[in-house]
Each structure stands twice: as C-alpha cells, then as structure tokens.
A = this chain, B = another copy of it.
Amino acid sequence: MPASELIEFLARLPLFSELPKADLANLAAAAHVREFDRGAILFLSGEMPDGMYCVLEGQIKLSLTSRTGLEKVVDLMGPGRSFAEALMFYDRPSPVTAQAVKKSLVAVIPGRVIIGEIQRSEPFARRMLAGLSARLHHLISDLEMLCLQSSMQRVIGALLSEVPPSIPPDAEIRVRFPASKGLIALRLNLTPETFSRALHELAEAGLIATEGKEIIILDLQRLKQHGQLC
C-alpha cells in the first residue's frame, strides 16, 4: 500500500481526523501494514500487543475464552475501526484475543509513536480521551444488554442496531448482519440454536422475513414494541 493511501485512510479514522497532515505522515511512516489470513491470530489474550491496530480491510474478532472452551465475542471490528489503544496507556497483557474472521489488512502503529503524538498535541490527547470514553460507554451498554435483556430482546436489539438512523418512514427495511449468524450469536452471548429460533419466532409473528443472508423488517414499530414487552 502506498504511503499516501495509508495517510488518507488514517485521516478518516475518528481518532485521527483532526490531526495536521504532517502528524498523519509521521504516524503513517511508523505504521506497519500487515495482512492476516482468515483464522490468523493477531495477538492472544495474555500477550502484550505491540501497538494500536487499525483495520483497513476485512474483519477482526475480539473475544474472551474460558478454560472450558466457552467463547464470548466482545466486538467485531470492520474497516475504519481501531483497537488495543487502551493497552498503550496501561501496561498490562491484553484480556482479549484478536483473530481475523476473513482475510484482513491491518495497520499497526507502535505505542511509543502514539504516546509521542499525545505529548506533542493536546487536542489529540483530548481526542484519545473521548475515544476511550466512547468505548467505555459502549462496553457498559453491552453489559446492560447481556445482564438485563432476554435472548429475544438481544436479538431484536441486534436487528435494530443494523437499521440506519435515518428512519425511512414505513418503507420495508432490508438489513444484513455484518458477520455469519454463528458469530453474531456469540456476540450476543447466545448459542447459534437460540439465535436461529428467535429469528424464526419473529418471522412466525410476521415481524420480519428472512431472505437468504438478508432480513427484511416488516414492521419496525411492532418489532420495537415486541422488544419492550418480552
């Protein structure tokens, strides 16, 4: 990947979007772009990642695994998302494992370069604080979903989160999950079976229709309602 393209890409990340061109060039120069095949491990839980990771292409799965083999997908990172920032400011081994779900391209920016940038640029530091805060909020809403909602509610929540915020009045809405159903189920802390059954039940009730990899939301209003009650 040519340097100019990488710079452009980094400029589009929320975290870097306000940095002057020169700083971006610095970051890009220090970054290593690496390719990972489907299934390849970026780092394991317990290891120290060597910097901050930005997904250029593909999809990276962040997950926790217990010694009994259970797995919880914490997040699925697509192009334009970054992770492992927190590890640069808090010198501990990673609690999560990062693995490529499909062939992926990732830029790794060494921690010392980011730290340097923070020292140089106060607005960047503020940006980073906002980024970590956003992640914290996201994690709390995950916690809320997992602890306080039934499996059906979680499935409906996942569906609704795929609906673009610009609400096209009552037109039928086509949605496609950003990963295989199995992975989405793990993300919601459900077994694939339970997930499948929930979708089936919603289809029975006439709230959605499933068409291959796509799901059509037939009645957004009622779907939301359904989430409230049950």
Chain A interface (Cβ within 8 Å of chain B)?
A: 64-68, 70, 72, 74, 85-90, 92, 95-96, 115, 118-119, 122, 125-126, 128-130, 132-137, 139-144, 146-149, 189, 228
Q: Which applies to chain A's interface (DSSP): helix, strand, loop or mixed?
A: helix
Query: Judging by beta carbons under 8 Å apart, are B129 and A139 in contact?
Result: no
Query: Judging by beta carbons under 8 Å apart, are A139 and B140 in contact?
Result: yes
Chain B positions within 8 Å of A66 at CB level: 144, 148-149
Given A143-B64, A148-B64, do A137 and B70 touch, yes or no (CB 8 Å)? no
Contact check: which of B68, B133, B228 meets A89 at CB < 8 Å? B133
Of the listed residues A70, A96, A144, the one surrounded by the most CB atoms of chain B closer than 10 A to its CB is A144
Distance in Å: Cβ of A12 to nearest Cβ of chain B? 20
Query: Judging by beta carbons under 8 Å apart, are A67 and B129 in contact?
Result: no
Contact check: which of B72, B87, B90 meets A148 at CB < 8 Å? B72
Given A125-B125, A129-B89, A134-B90, do A72 and B143 touch, yes or no (CB 8 Å)? yes
